[in-house]
Amino acid sequence: MIRSIVFTTTLLLFTRLPAAETPNIIVIMADDLGYGDLSCYGARAVKTPNLDRLAAEGLRFTSGYCSASTCTPTRFSLLTGTYAFRQKGTGVAPPNGPALIKPGTETLASLLKRAGYTTAVIGKWHLGLGDPKPDWNGDLKPGPLEIGFDHCLLLPTTNDRVPQVYVEDHRVRNLKADDPLWVGDKAPSTDHPTGITHRSTLRMDWTHGHNQTIHNGIGRIGFYTGGQSARFRDEDLADVWTQEASRWISQHRTHPFFLFFASHDIHVPRMPHERFQGSTTLGYRGDAIVEFDWSVGEIMKALSQNNLQQKTLIVICSDNGPVLDDGYVDGAVEKLGDHRPAGPFSGGKYSVLEGGTRTPFIVNWPGRIQPGVSDEVVCTIDLAASFASLTGVPLPEGACLDSQNVMPALLGLPGARGRDHLLQQDNHGTNLGLRMGEWKLVRMKHRGSSKAVISAQRRNEKTSVHQLYHLTNDPAEEKDLSSKNPERVQAMISQMESILSQPRTRP
């Protein structure tokens, strides 16, 4: 790979990373947003002016990654700095799943708290609550507040899974004692309405799964009853979280803060607010992208109103790549047109091909990061070590086992290098990808619906467990070069096995 950073101006404001700085830090994570879903990454069917502005005034990465192709493992790795495959149970968390990050675990939030930051997470959590399961009518401990966050306002799982309530700090918001909340994996009674028994009443039909408890006219995964006063309307999620983020920013404007804003857009069920519905030709999926861009704009507005733009470092990322039909009939497939959610890449959510983990990745810090485009390899798993370096917090020996300090690359410093290798995993770490420079090794133990595998099957070709792709010449990973490069394949297999067998990759 040609390692270069293309700048719109010729000089950086500084040439070395100071020993310690404490800018406000905001990590904004989209949900299921693909590399090709933003206009600054080439989309034409949808306009994202606020994100485009952050990209134009900051550093837009063309090799920015999340560590997994589903949400829970990526979020686990973002916060812990450790590959999710190292801990059992980090696949997509169920509605009653326990807290996956245990108290005492060093996290991105706890590191920054030690640097003097006030910390908050607002948005989708999906990392479990409680031990051994959530106490929905009591204190939801352990949770974010036990691993470094001072405040949280959460969707506890993900919105296609029950329950549809907010968790504020340790309690379900607006829950009344005389209407307790019950959550389970089996129907509470034979007459409990579901997406199967009451399908004709749904305002958004399902294609697979997502047909158990009905909320807001939409079927979900799992069952729940009660908590009527605590339940939210899908259309209001972005508004509530964005308002809370703006309020919290204003409240903490005089002190360094870290905000993890975890949007639910553009995950299913896609039900953006009415004012965004019909704003694109792509159906609710495109409309949800516009809603996400609005949320980003409102957070930027809150920074401006509090004179914090120059003092704030913003990271834009996604938890995995795009998916169209993820269980609901919402027009995403039928209205796609020539829009390419994954851009030039194959695969998407659930896949270890590039479309599954290579996503939009933008870093903005006015006055400190010069506008430009970088092809350095950076990953969400690296934010822990990078921000620890920025703020001068030492990393404990047994913490953040796979997080690399790529802060110089995130800032676009001259000659700064990103990662020299990156492991990509699917939900449970069965299928893996290993990128090393221009080359990518794919271990496909479970045959999914990846474009490359399907293409080979249609040509009646055999597909091996390991495939090798040259990303520079073949970004779509369509030409398996493993048979022509056996020595490289073996070397990369050895590297992959070393990563899997060793307890850490952080130096």
**Which of 447-478 are b and which e, b meaning 16 or more Cβ less than 10 Å from the residue's Cβ?**
ebebbbbebbeeeeeebeebbbbbbeebbbbe
Compute the distance between CA of residue 393 and CA of residue 414 in angstroms, rounded to an integer: 24
Specify the pLDDT at position 445.
84
* Residues 347, 356: Cα–Cα separation, whole Å: 6
| CA–CA gap between residue 382 and residue 396 (Å, rounded) | 15
**Gap between the Cα atoms of 442 and 213, Å rounded:** 38
The long-range contacts involving 98-102, CB below 8 angstroms and separated by at least 24 positions, are 98/128, 98/129, 98/130, 98/131, 98/132, 98/133, 98/134, 99/127, 99/128, 99/129, 99/130, 99/131, 99/142, 99/143, 99/146, 100/72, 100/76, 100/127, 100/128, 101/76, 101/127, 101/147, 102/142, 102/147
CA 103 to chain centre: 22
Assigned token pair, 495: 């590297």
What is the per-residue pLDDT for 16? 42
* Assigned superfamily of 23-177+231-411: Alkaline Phosphatase, subunit A (3.40.720.10)
C-alpha to C-alpha distance for 109 and 330, rounded to whole angstroms: 36
Q: Distance between CA atoms of 112 and 461, rounded to whole angstroms? A: 51
d(CA 483, CA 495): 18
Per-residue pLDDT of the chain (507 residues; tens, 9 = 90+): 333 333 333 333 333 445 589 999 999 999 999 999 999 999 999 999 999 999 999 999 999 999 999 999 999 999 999 999 999 999 999 999 999 999 999 999 999 999 999 999 999 999 999 999 999 999 999 999 999 999 999 999 999 999 999 999 999 999 999 999 999 999 999 999 999 999 999 999 999 999 999 999 999 999 999 999 999 999 999 999 999 999 999 999 999 999 999 999 999 999 999 999 999 999 999 999 999 999 999 999 999 999 999 999 999 999 999 999 999 999 999 999 999 999 999 999 999 999 999 999 999 999 999 999 999 999 999 999 999 999 999 999 999 999 999 999 999 999 999 999 999 999 999 999 999 999 999 999 865 544 444 444 333 344 579 999 999 999 999 999 999 999 999 999 999 999 999 999 998
Strand spans (E) along 252-400: 257-262, 312-318, 361-364, 372-374, 378-379
CA–CA gap between residue 162 and residue 221 (Å, rounded):
6
State how far the Cα of 355 lies from the Cα of 57, in Å rounded to an integer.
25
pLDDT at 20: 80
* DSSP 8-state secondary structure symbol assigned to residue 145: G
d(CA 57, CA 323): 29
Q: What is the DSSP letter of 367?
A: T
Phi, psi of 352 (to 5 degrees): -95, 5
Q: Can you give the residue ranges of every domain in the chain? A: 23-177+231-411, 430-501
- The number of angstroms, rounded, from the C-alpha of 62 to the middle of its chain's C-alpha atoms is 16
What pLDDT is stored for residue 452 in this prediction? 44
pLDDT the model gives residue 453: 42
Name 364's Cβ contacts closer than 8 Å, sequence gap at least 6.
Answer: 54, 55, 57, 58, 59, 313, 314, 316
Predicted confidence at residue 245, as pLDDT, reads: 98
The answer to whether the beta carbons of residues 359 and 317 sit under 8 Å apart is: yes
- What pLDDT is recorded for position 11? 33
Cβ pair 43, 339 in contact under 8 A: yes
Helix, strand or coil, per DSSP, at residue 258: strand
187, 192, 193, 195: CA torsion to nearest 10: 10
Among candidate residues 105, 60, 84, the one with its CA nearest the CA of residue 423: 84
CA 156 to chain centre: 15
Q: List beta partners, residue 167.
A: 154, 172
* C-beta of residue 449 within 8 angstroms of C-beta of residue 464: no
Nearest-angstrom CA–CA distance, 177 and 120: 27
Fold category of 430-501 in CATH: Arylsulfatase, C-terminal domain (3.30.1120)
Say whether 430-501 and 23-177+231-411 share the same fold: no
Distance, first Cα to last Cα, the chain: 23
Question: What are the backbone angles phi and psi of residue 199, rounded to the nearest 5°?
Answer: -60, -35
Provide the pLDDT for residue 448: 53
pLDDT at residue 391 in the model: 98
Name the 3-class secondary structure at 384: helix
CA-CA-CA-CA dihedral for 64, 68, 71, 72, to nearest 10: -130
